[in-house]
Amino acid sequence: MVSNKQIYVVGLCGSLRQGSTTHAALTIALAGAKEVGAEVELLDLSEYQLIFHGAVADESEYPPDVFILKEKVKRAHGILLGTPEYHGSFSGVLKNALDLMRYEEFENKVVGLIGVSGGRMGAGNALSMLRIVGATLRAWVIPNDVSIPRASQAFDENGNLRDPELAARVKTIGREVTQFAALYNSK
């Protein structure tokens, strides 16, 4: 570690589906973060009662889970965004979660991107668009990202990637986010 500060890395999962491959990929990336000393937490959006941004007149009327989620992201030094490719973009679930947030959750945070897709072309479009969102929120999106094509066949029944090279690349995202967050937070 380059910093004595305890680095906290969260993974935001953009799929609500039970048995989600995005969830599995984030779990691997967070293991990479943990290996280099991060405290990690996977934020499964299916466990939060959120609301569409703008559905209530006053943000103070948001359900409590919105504030709990925002607080966790605000506390994080590193943020992993995981998404399935949906219609050539990232998921609406993740978009809404991001729309509930502001600079205070993202500015100067280190962000890593992971995408999965059903098809063989991968999640490149989703990743490109998330890169723009990260930059817009003034986060440091690391240059390295990872896309897992044909996700339904890529994992075994225990949620491990069958391809060890791909698994290592996913872990690297978690590791790099932690290490750059530690660098950023060092004196």
Binding site for ligand FMN (CB under 6 A): 15, 17, 20-22, 84-88, 116-119, 121, 151-152
User: In the complex, what is the shortest distance from the CB of residue 20 to ligand FMN, in angstroms, rounded to a whole number?
Assistant: 3
Rounded to the nearest 10 degrees, what angle do helices 164-184 and 21-35 cross at? 50
Where does residue 29 rank: exposed (0-12), middle (13-18), buried (19+ CB within 10 A)? buried
Cβ proximity to ligand FMN, 15 vs 178, nearer residue = 15
User: In the complex, what is the shortest distance from the CB of residue 64 to ligand FMN, in angstroms, rounded to a whole number?
Assistant: 26
User: In the complex, what is the shortest distance from the CB of residue 12 to ligand FMN, in angstroms, rounded to a whole number?
Assistant: 13
Cβ proximity to ligand FMN, 125 vs 179, nearer residue = 125
Cβ proximity to ligand FMN, 45 vs 101, nearer residue = 45
Where does residue 169 rank: exposed (0-12), middle (13-18), buried (19+ CB within 10 A)? buried
Q: 144 by DSSP, 3-state: which? A: strand
User: In the complex, what is the shortest distance from the CB of residue 82 to ligand FMN, in angstroms, rounded to a whole number?
Assistant: 8
User: In the complex, what is the shortest distance from the CB of residue 123 to ligand FMN, in angstroms, rounded to a whole number?
Assistant: 7
Tokens of 118: 């059903």
Cβ proximity to ligand FMN, 137 vs 154, nearer residue = 154
Cβ proximity to ligand FMN, 147 vs 178, nearer residue = 147
Rounded to whole angstroms, the Cα distance separating 86 from 84 reads 6
8 Å CB contact between 27 and 42: yes
Any idea how long the chain is?
A: 187
8 Å CB contact between 114 and 141: no
Where does residue 19 rank: exposed (0-12), middle (13-18), buried (19+ CB within 10 A)? exposed
Tokens of 145: 């990202």
Cβ proximity to ligand FMN, 25 vs 142, nearer residue = 25
